[in-house]
Amino acid sequence: MRRVYAAEAIEDLSRLRAFIAEHDPNAAGRVAAELLERLETLPRFPRMGRPVAAAPEPETVRDMVFGRYVVRYSVHRETLVILRVWHELEGRGGS
């Protein structure tokens, strides 16, 4: 299964890294690397996230929690699309 990133997810990752870098530049790279490493596992286990009940197709759109970060993604036949990424304190569950 191929993994692709929506433009919003790429912006989210950049925003999160920049925010962390403001407070701890060393942590920014480490957190970004850990998050990307975790994202690599999603295509192997695409159904491990929980369905998003508010989504038009809850079985297709899922949320996976990695530490304090939430990754929203959609699962398709041959592709897994990373839709959004946020820190749990941002409260984007309905976004």
Q: Is residue 39 part of a domain?
A: yes
In percent, the amount of the chain with pLDDT more than 70 equals 95
* Strand 79-87, strand 2-5: pairing: parallel
Q: Are 82 and 7 in contact (CB under 8 A)?
A: no
Domain count, the chain: 1
In percent, the amount of the chain with pLDDT more than 90 equals 57
Which positions ≥6 away from 17 have C-beta within 8 Å? 28, 29, 31, 32
Query: At 40, which CATH number?
Result: 3.30.2310.20
The rounded distance, in Å, linking the Cα atoms of 82 and 88 is: 17
Q: Is residue 33 part of a domain?
A: yes
In terms of residue numbers, what domain contains 35? Answer: 2-89
Q: Is residue 6 part of a domain?
A: yes
Model pLDDT for residues 5-57, shown as the tens digit of each residue: 999 999 999 999 898 899 898 898 888 889 889 899 899 999 999 999 999 98
Q: Is residue 94 part of a domain?
A: no
